[in-house]
């Protein structure tokens, strides 16, 4: 009987440890483009999300994805995205890219998932301006 | 005018809940049945006030009474009737009002059911708790989230209209009410669990009292979750249906603990075991619904559901704290009295299977809870924004799901106490063959991934085992009633034990969903096409042609549609709509659904001329997810039908067992 409880306890502890390990492995930090550029060296190729605005006229579509530039707070990175793009992905759109820094070149981010950061405030559309707003994330 | 009327009704509701609370408390302290009876009547007043307030809200919405902030924010003159109606729960304040209304309905129905037992201390304490919860939600509306707040300054000529995502698909009319009817319903079992702890009546009586309400709430919650997945698939345009979004998790958490409870409660009814465990599950389920409300409604998480954010966070967090503290305190206080008689005799028995089932459900809940709350803790403590990636949920959730599927396959055929090898052999022979053959066929058909293959095999195993139980039941009945046809005998058999057959039907629904999850995961292709008008591309052997674009303008929205033809499938029109109240437009996927294949087209970018980007996704058996959900809900409804009492003249029991069967019923569920 005691042995059986011991085994059960061991299995439970093992399961919890496994859970914590998986949790740690799958934590994805969110950084704005300027924060991400600042931490580029220390972050290496760990996975994270970076947020910024799509630089006007920077979108170049490929067969398997899209290349574009993302900027925020005066910093700009080149994003190499593989996969589908969200509806309404366009110039100036506030975008969050999930992926990691590329091993090939600096300031290049390999993205596997793109999200549009929807704005919760219903602002009536402002007159179209040529320049993207300064703070694309509205923070 | 409406503002005062609505606010007045809410005040009446709050006052009635407070008076009911005080009167019931006085009745309990003085042990006066008259006071308890009086206290109970305040429920009617609360219900009428909530109903009145809801009606006032609807008339304000339909009457375009923009002097109310809520109406001005959530309805515009151009909003169609359906979405004007659903605007009542399109934002925070209104959804709390709907919550309050549903809660009063549940409490009133419970009061009606126990009208002859009002002076029973157990019922009195439960009523007290229900009044306390009602009071909290009414006070919340009165002080923190008033749906009848007036606009400051000039009354606008037109309102903003609902959030674009909430005026784009009719599912918005049923998904939230279903979900709320599920979440709110768990208040009743919670109140009885607290009452049982306070009065130290841990007999199995209180369980029988709340079994039905728990099942009703569970059925609604199941429907709400499946409809939510469907809404996500049909509206959000990402091609998926479940993203482990914090808010999806918030509805899934109480579902997990409630499902665990529905199973383990049978062990307590049958063997008197697992008392502390069952109480804890009921208490946890309610606390998780409050946590879910907190996550959804206070704006602490950023998600597609964060339609409205306000200052009710601290209120909900405090309430959650009080509930959890009370629950834990009471269980600790009564802990020594909760020792249950009986123990598990054999690891191969029904009760052992239920125990394992419960450990898995609880473990699943722990996994989801950790993944959901961890980012909030990190942000609160370290001020860093993180998220937990989907692989975390999938790598842990899939094995747990497969283990649960395995238990679902064998659990219902295991006997109570202990199983003999011979019994198992005879009961598991056919299902095991079905499972094994399916496994081979699935691998031959190209199924990849252990989880997917196992889902098919265990699904077939379960279906065969359910089919076997049902066939034997019907055959046994026909053995006695020789004149009955198959159809008639089947109906009678189900009526004779609706709880058993309802449960098996729910299991069948789960199998359908599990198989659909495996097929959608294993056989989905997605392509992005960039096409000029008139251009074609080939996807899965079908020619996809972009014909032209079409612009629809209405006061509600402006829609740009891409007309697409897929040879051999049909015409599609994925669209992007822009609403006057939002800067960003939203996409509307165009879906062609058949039982086998789903063609799912989205429009990714919408320049007014030239090349468009069209997402084409071909999914397999997606429709069966919703059908599985429907079967689960029907099964729940069947399980709720009262068992038909045997007429005295009918023969009492099966006199001769059918040829190949022991007289022991295969699956016994006490009702």
- pLDDT, residue B186, reads 96
Query: Per-residue pLDDT averaged across B580-604, rounded?
Result: 85
For the stretch A72-121, pLDDT in tens is 888 889 999 987 777 667 788 888 888 889 888 788 999 988 887 754 43
CA–CA distance, B461 with B435 (Å, rounded to integer): 4
Give the minimum alpha-carbon distance from A139 to chain B in angstroms, rounded to a whole number: 13
Mean pLDDT of all residues in chain B?
A: 87
pLDDT at A53: 87
Please report which confidence band the pLDDT of residue B648 belongs to, taking 50, 70 and 90 as the band edges. very low
Give the dihedral sign, CA B347/B352/B357/B358.
negative
Residue A132: predicted pLDDT: 63
Cβ-based contacts of B586 with chain A (< 8 Å): 87-88
Q: What is the DSSP letter of B150?
A: B
Which residues neighbour B249 within 8 Å (Cβ) at sequence distance 6 or greater? B368, B369, B371, B372
Report the share of chain A in percent with pLDDT over 70: 82
Please indicate whether, in this complex, the C-beta atoms of B391 and A49 are within 8 angstroms of each other. no
Taking the Cβ of residue B392 and every Cβ of chain A, the question of whether any pair is shorter than 8 Å is answered with yes
Give the distance from residue B392's alpha carbon to the nearest chain A alpha carbon, in angstroms. Answer: 6
Residue B358, both tokens: 């419960």
Q: Which helix (H) or strand (E) holds B562?
A: strand B558-566
Q: Which residue of B has its CA nearest to A122?
A: B582
B-chain residues near A28 (CB < 8 A): 386-389
Residue of B nearest to A116 (CA): B584
Give residue-wise pLDDT tens across range B86-134: 999 988 889 999 999 999 999 999 999 988 887 888 999 999 999 999 9
Over 60: is that where the pLDDT of B360 sits? Answer: yes
Considering only CB atoms, B370 lies closest to which of A18, A23, A31, namely: A23
- The C-alpha angle with vertex B454 and arms to B453 and B458, in degrees rounded to 5, equals 125
pLDDT at residue B572 is higher than 50: yes
Facing residue for B615 by CB, picked from A22, A84, A119: A84
Task: Extract the tokens encoding B308.
Answer: 């409205």
Contacts of B524 (CB under 8 A, 6+ apart): B239, B617, B618, B619, B620
B509 vs B652, higher pLDDT = B509
Distance between CA atoms of residues B580 and B162, nearest Å: 11
Minimal CA separation from B607 to chain A, in Å: 10
Picking from A19, A116, A125, the nearest residue to B367 by CB comes out as A19
Distances (CA, A) of B300 to A126, B92, B312, B392, B404: 28, 14, 11, 21, 32
**Confidence bin at B606 (pLDDT 50/70/90):** low
Residues A114-127: tens digit of each pLDDT: 887 754 433 333 43
Does any CB of chain B come closer than 8 Å to the CB of residue A14? Answer: no
Express each pLDDT in B259-272 by its tens digit.
999 999 888 888 87
Q: How far is CA B666 from CA A29, B255, B324, B494, B649, in A?
A: 52, 28, 40, 14, 25
**pLDDT score recorded for residue B310:** 60
Q: What is the pTM for the complete model shown?
A: 0.89
Distance CA B158, CA B10 (A): 26
CB contact under 8 A, B385 and A29: yes
**pLDDT mean over B432-440:** 92
| Residue of A26, A47, A72, A98 for testing the chain B interface, max B β-carbons within 10 Å | A26
Q: What is the pLDDT of residue B551?
A: 87
CB-CB contact of B525 with B617 (8 Å): yes
Give yes or no for residue B660 having a pLDDT over 50: no
User: Considering only CB atoms, which chain B residues are within 8 Å of A67?
Assistant: none
Is A84 touching B (CB cutoff 8 A)?
yes
* Mutation target among A122, A126, A138 for the B interface, most CBs of B within 10 A: A122
Residue A135 above 70 pLDDT?
Answer: no
Select from B386, B586, B604 the Cβ nearest to the Cβ of A85.
B604
CA distance A72 to chain B (A): 17
Contact assignment for A89 to B605 by CB distance below 8 Å: yes
pLDDT at B303: 47
Q: Taking CB atoms and an 8 Å cutoff, what residues of chain A touch B602?
A: 87
């Amino acid at each position: 009987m005691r042995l059986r409880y011991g085994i059960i306890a061991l299995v439970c502890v093992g399961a919890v440890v496994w859970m914590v390990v998986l949790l740690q492995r799958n934590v994805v930090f969110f950084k704005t483009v300027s924060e991400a550029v600042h931490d580029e060296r220390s972050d290496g190729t760990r996975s994270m999300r970076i947020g910024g605005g799509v630089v006007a006229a920077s979108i170049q579509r490929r067969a398997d994805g899209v290349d574009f530039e993302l900027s925020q707070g005066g910093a700009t990175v080149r994003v190499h995205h593989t996969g589908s793009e969200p509806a309404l992905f366009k110039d100036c759109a506030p975008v969050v890219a999930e992926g990691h820094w590329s091993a090939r070149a600096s300031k290049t981010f390999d993205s596997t998932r793109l999200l549009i950061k929807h704005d919760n405030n219903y602002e009536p559309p402002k007159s179209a301006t040529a320049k993207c707003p300064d703070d694309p994330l509205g923070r | 005018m409406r503002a005062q009327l609505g606010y007045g009704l809410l005040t009446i509701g709050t006052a009635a809940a407070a008076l009911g609370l005080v009167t019931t408390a006085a009745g309990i302290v003085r042990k006066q049945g008259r006071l308890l009876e009086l206290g109970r009547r305040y429920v009617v007043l609360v219900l009428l006030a909530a109903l009145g307030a809801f009606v006032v809200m609807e008339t304000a919405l339909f009457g375009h009474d923009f002097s109310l902030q809520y109406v001005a924010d959530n309805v515009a003159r151009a909003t169609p009737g359906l979405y004007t109606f659903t605007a009542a729960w399109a934002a925070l304040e209104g959804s709390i009002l709907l919550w309050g209304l549903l809660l009063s309905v549940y409490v009133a129905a419970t009061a009606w059911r126990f009208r002859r037992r009002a002076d029973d201390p157990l019922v009195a304490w439960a009523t007290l708790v229900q009044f306390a919860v009602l009071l909290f939600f009414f006070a919340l509306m009165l002080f923190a989230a008033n749906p009848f707040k007036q606009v400051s300054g000039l009354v606008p000529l037109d309102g903003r209209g609902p959030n674009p995502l909430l005026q784009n698909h009719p599912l918005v009319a049923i998904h939230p009410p279903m979900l709320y009817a599920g979440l709110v319903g768990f208040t009743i079992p919670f109140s009885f669990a607290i009452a049982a702890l306070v009065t130290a009546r841990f007999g199995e009586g209180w369980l029988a009292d709340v079994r039905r309400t728990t099942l009703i709430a569970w059925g609604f919650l199941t429907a709400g979750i499946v409809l939510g997945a469907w809404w996500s698939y049909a509206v959000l345009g990402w091609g998926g249906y479940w993203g482990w979004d914090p808010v999806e998790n918030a509805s899934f958490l109480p579902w997990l603990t409630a499902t665990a409870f529905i199973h383990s409660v049978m062990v307590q009814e049958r063997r008197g075991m697992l008392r502390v465990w069952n109480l804890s599950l009921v208490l946890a389920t309610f606390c998780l619904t409050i946590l879910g409300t907190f996550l959804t409604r206070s704006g602490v998480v950023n998600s597609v559901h964060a339609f409205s954010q306000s200052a009710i966070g601290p209120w909900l967090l405090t309430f959650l704290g009080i509930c959890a503290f009370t629950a834990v305190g009471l269980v600790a206080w009564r802990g020594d009295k909760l020792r249950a008689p009986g123990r598990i005799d054999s690891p191969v028995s029904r009760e052992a299977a239920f125990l394992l089932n419960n450990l898995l459900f609880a473990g699943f809940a722990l996994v989801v809870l950790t993944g959901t709350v961890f980012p909030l803790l990190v942000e609160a403590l370290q001020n860093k924004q993180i998220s937990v990636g989907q692989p975390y949920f999938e790598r842990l959730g899939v094995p747990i799901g497969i283990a649960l599927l395995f238990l679902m396959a064998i659990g219902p055929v295991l006997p109570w106490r202990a199983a003999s090898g011979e019994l198992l052999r005879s009961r598991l022979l056919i299902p095991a063959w079905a499972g094994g053959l399916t496994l081979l066929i699935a691998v031959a058909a190209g199924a990849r991934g252990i989880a997917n293959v196992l889902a098919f095999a265990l699904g077939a195993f379960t279906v065969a085992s359910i089919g076997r139980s049902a066939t034997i039941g019907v055959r046994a009945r026909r053995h006695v009633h020789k004149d009955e046809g198959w159809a008639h005998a089947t109906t009678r058999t189900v009526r004779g034990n609706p709880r058993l057959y309802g449960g098996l039907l729910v299991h069948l629904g789960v199998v359908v969903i599990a198989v659909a999850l495996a097929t959608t995961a294993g056989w989905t292709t997605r392509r992005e096409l960039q096409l000029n008008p008139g251009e074609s591309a080939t996807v899965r052997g079908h020619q996809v042609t972009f014909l032209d674009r079409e612009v629809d303008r209405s006061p509600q929205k402006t829609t740009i549609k891409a007309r697409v033809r897929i040879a051999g499938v049909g015409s599609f029109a994925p669209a992007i709509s822009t609403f006057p109240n939002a800067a960003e437009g939203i996409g509307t996927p165009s879906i062609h659904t058949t039982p086998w294949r789903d063609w799912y087209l989205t429009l990714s970018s919408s320049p007014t001329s030239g090349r468009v980007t069209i997402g084409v996704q071909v999914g397999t058996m997606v429709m069966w997810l919703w059908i599985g959900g429907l079967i689960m809900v029907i099964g729940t409804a069947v399980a709720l039908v009262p068992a038909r009492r045997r007429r005295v003249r009918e023969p009492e029991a099966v006199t001769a067992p059918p040829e190949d069967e022991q007289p022991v019923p295969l699956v016994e569920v006490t009702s």
